[in-house]
Structure 1
Amino acid sequence: MQRPVTRIEPNLPVGAYQTYQITRRRDTTIRAVCEQVDCQAWRHGWDSVIDERTELGRTQAAYIRGESRRTFREMKTDTGLTVFRFESGQRCFADHQTVPELYLVRDGDWRGNPTGRSRRHTRPQDWVEDFGENQLHLVDQQQKG
């Protein structure tokens, strides 16, 4: 059961407000890079242990050495396996998925959007900058009285 929302009645008309919102669509996923999903391999590095005595292992090792375009050190274990140690900060081999965030700004507040005007920022940095500028504008207005 959801708790009821308690709201303070605003002092100004709905048109005097702007709403900044970060939301997600539940049914949409996109391909993501390691940094976006806080991939532990990306953060700390990882080891890939390959058995080059098998066809699959030889194919994997050849890909890592010749086509992966990643930084690694190569070692051999006592049992003859090849260990590729990858440094942190580079894309791992997994295909990551995430639910994209939507960075929205619209006129009005919880009572509605009287102008119908809204916009969607494509980059979170732009949304943060817009929000910050709006906060500075509010401080200026408050100081003017």
Structure 2
Amino acid sequence: MSGQLNRAEPAMPVTAYKTYRILSPVQTHFRPATCVEAGCAAYLNGWVSTIDETTVLGQQQAHYIRKQSGRGFTEERLPTGLTRFVFEAGQRCFSGDHHVRLDRPELYVVQGGDWRGNPTGEKRQHTSARDWIEDFGEHQQTLADEMKRG
């Protein structure tokens, strides 16, 4: 599969469209969090990492787990030759990428165009969901009227 989306051919030029989005960017609406704050399943339940020590990467991972991670675990060699590390609950996971949401309102953004681009450069941010919804409804009506006219 090529990873491309299967899109219907638009009925009108890109300038007739607008893109409406509600955003909560990670950079401004979230902060880093601990496993406890994020309700991390690995922290709550423990986890298993199965490592192939016949590879360089697997050897590095196993060395880190055994000598540097500081985590509690049991180790088992599987019949397949892989090593299974079972980590106890209640300890920091390996993700290191937890975030929790800050109490900030979403961004209500409207920009010109669609997936093909924004040739007009139009972009604005509404201050309320109500204004964004009203703008969206008015634009939908404009499109419906335009389609009726042909």
TM-score normalized by the length of structure 1:
0.50
Deviations 1:75-131 (A, max 9, x none): 0111010011000000000121222358xxxxxxxxxxxxxxxxxxxxxxxxxxxxx
Q: Specify every segment of 5 or more residues in structure 2 that has no aligned partner in the other structure, as ranges.
A: 1-23, 105-150
State the match for 2:12 in structure 1: none
| Counterpart AA for 1:46 | W
Deviation of the 1:74 alpha carbon? 0.5
State the match for 1:45 in structure 2: 46
Deviations 1:39-95 (A, max 9, x none): 111001000000000011000000000110000000011101001100000000012
Q: Give the 5 Å matches for 1:1-145.
A: 26=24, 27-94=28-95, 95-101=97-103
TM-score normalized by the length of structure 2:
0.48
SS at match of 2:91: coil
SS at match of 2:37: helix
Percent of residue pairs bearing the same amino acid type = 47
Q: Which runs of 4+ in 1 moved over 6 A?
A: none
Q: CA RMSD in A?
A: 1.4
Question: What is the aligned length?
Answer: 77
Closer/same/farther in 2, CA of residues 66 and 101 from structure 1, 3 Å limit: farther
Distance 1:29 1:87 in 2: 28
| Counterpart AA for 1:53 | T
| Counterpart AA for 2:31 | I
State the match for 2:9 in structure 1: none
